[in-house]
Structures are given as C-alpha cells and as structure tokens.
Chains A and B, each alone.
Chain A
C-alpha cells in the first residue's frame, strides 16, 4: 500500500494549507472592518478640504496658484497606490493593467513619466518595467499614517513647482464593496475645482495673512489628504480581496481533500480485493 501512504501525506498537507488559508481569511475579515472604519474617519477631512478648495477655485482671488493653472503636458507624475503584500487575488494585477493602458496612451502622446510608488508591489512592478521612480514609501502597514506619505508626495509637488512635470495623476483601488474593488485613475494636479451650486454667487474669504500663503498651505494638504484617503482605502481593498481569495482557497482545498479521500478509499479497496483474491487463489492451488 505504498500509493495509499503517499495519498495520506498529501491529504495531510492540503489540510494544513487549508488551515492556514482559513486563518488568513479570518484575520483579513477582522482587519477589513477596522480598515473600513479608518476609511470612514478620513472622509470628513477630505470632504471639507475639497469643499474649501472647490470654493477657492470658483471664487476669484487675486492670486492664481500654480496648482490651479493648466499647462501643456510634456511630462506627468503618477502616484501608484498598491499593497505591500501579495495573496490578495487580482487586486494589484488589475491595477497594473489599468496603469499600463494609461502608460500606453501617454507613450503614444510622447508624454514622459515619473512614478511615485506607495506600497511594495507597485515598487517591484514599476522597477521591472524600468519606469523612472522618483520616490517610494512601502511597509506602511495596516494603519498608514499621513506622515509616512508626506515625503513621497512632496517630491512630486516640488517637481511640479519647478516645472519638471506638468500634471500629477494617482491610480489606486476604490472600495466598492467586499466583493468588488475598482482600480481608478484620477488627476490630482492641476486641481479641477468642484462646481457646487451653492457656490455660484460671488463672495470671497478674508485671507489671513494673504491668499497666496493660505492657498500654498491648503493645496499641499489637499493633495496629501487625497493620497492618504486612497492609501487607507487601498488597505480596506487589500483586506477584502485577501478575504475573498483566501475563502476560495479554503473552499478549493476542501474539494481537493474530498477528491483525494475518494482516490485513497478506492486504492484501499483495490488492495483488499487483491489480497482476498490472492488468498483464495492460493487456497484453490492447495
């Protein structure tokens, strides 16, 4: 019964694997809940700052910030938000596919590219791609903090100020629900002012000390808050995707065990039958 023993070891190893995937599924589920809460917590700030920036864009201050001025695009900066770890289904791959389409488009328009990666997977992908990565931040963990990403974002913002790049885009995953995550690409700079109806009538703030300083301050924070929101959302996406991937892995392991068990039983029966027929034919010979 050498075959049977092999199958038994195989079943054992699949069982162990399914224990691991089951545990990962449950860990991801609980982490997802916390990530979603953080996502919700980050929302008021992002909404508030978007409103204020939208207002600044539509009111007419005497000073036009460079972030609000469109210019001919020769080189763009792309912020790529990915996970640090794998085993989360097609989350990162879908994002890279989307990014590649955009890269193709830019390539055909002879637009050059600078990349900032947030997350280890994006770094290794764009590194292999040979893209020009100007800054990166990885190992952000399950609880990213805004301090972790400020530096990377500042690199691109500075390049924009210096006129090296003419637009900044960001690609990240949007959390639709537990089963669905959508890779989305957004233009961060130049800022597209929101056109809320309530802001139609003309009024303006008192700027203290002056509009230039206030806007400089605010727009940096606005971009950072957008990036931060995306990073937090990506954590929720990662956990949801991992949960689903691990659930299907556990299910598959269950199927595999059933099949192996069936083969094992057949093998065992065949061995018994053979033994009986050997005994019977032996007795008949005597």
Chain B
C-alpha cells in the first residue's frame, strides 16, 4: 500500500468526507495544486471547482466545492468548503440587504437606550409570574 494522507472535507453546515487518499488535487486560487503525503504546511483560498481525491488502485472521488480554504499539514489535508457562492460584491449586496431590513424594521427608532425602562418591564413581568404562582398555591 502506498503512502496516504488523511483528508477531511467539511463545510460549515455538514461533514462531507473523511478518509485517506494517496493524492489530493484542489483548485487553489493561484491554480490547481496536487498534494502528496508529507507536503509542507500550506494554506490557500480555493476557487469554485472540483476537489479530486486519488484513493489508489485507480479509484477516485470527486467533490464540487463553491470555494473555501485549503489547509495542508504533512499528514492531514483539510478542505474548509463554502456552502455559498462567495464574492466580494455578493457579500456586500447581502450586507446592504441586511442593513435595509433593519432600517425598515426600525422606522420609528429612538436614539438612546432606555435600559432602566426595559429593566422595569422585566421586573413587572417577573412580579406577574410570581403573583400567578402564589394564586395557584393558595387556590
């Protein structure tokens, strides 16, 4: 059996693959890289594309990723895959969208924080609960 390297492919939402491989090919941002066992530590963003694992005996596994980060340690390769298509302008659009939602929700916003008022409201609610419980016991 040839030398192998452990590969973990994970995304923020799920664990995708874990197992040994003889060779890993990944679409790094500067061009495709091939990682053999005992590769020197490397870290690089990934482009959307295909991660290919050479499992030996002519067997291969393919994973499509929409970008992410590749981390290489001598015996472990980790692919942190994105679940979403990421690009600077897309992120910015999402941010603007989130801001807009907040502004819409807050069209009647006051400027300063009234912590004391909120405290009083919570205290009132707590008192109500206590009173209800007392009533229940006395009944």
Contact = CB atoms under 8 A, between A and B. Distances in A.
Interface of A: 38, 41-42, 44-46, 48-49, 52, 93, 96-97, 100, 103-104, 107, 113, 116-117, 123, 125, 127-138, 145-147, 150-152, 154-155, 158, 203-209, 213-214, 217-218, 221, 224-225, 228-229, 259
B48 interface: no
A129 B84 contact: no
B12 interface: yes
7 contacts: A45-B11, A52-B78, A146-B84, A151-B97, A154-B94, A206-B43, A208-B33
7 tightest Cβ-Cβ pairs between the two chains A and B:
A151-B94, A151-B98, A130-B110, A154-B95, A135-B98, A208-B44, A152-B98
Interface residues of B, number: 50
Contacts of B40: 206
Given A206-B42, A221-B80, A107 B102 contact: no
Given A135-B95, A146-B12, A146-B83, 19 more contacts: A38-B13, A42-B12, A45-B11, A45-B13, A52-B69, A52-B78, A52-B80, A127-B109, A128-B118, A129-B113, A130-B109, A130-B112, A147-B83, A151-B91, A154-B92, A155-B95, A155-B98, A205-B42, A207-B44
A133 B110 CA distance: 11
Contacts of B45: 213-214, 217
A135 B102 contact: yes
B115 interface: yes
Determine chain A's interface SS by DSSP, over half rule: helix
Interface in B97-128: 97-99, 101-102, 105-106, 109-115, 117-119, 122, 125
Contacts of A44: 8, 10, 15
Interface of B: 8, 10-15, 28-30, 33, 40-45, 69, 71, 78, 80, 82-84, 91-99, 101-102, 105-106, 109-115, 117-119, 122, 125, 139
A48 B95 CA distance: 26
A146 to B, nearest CB: 5
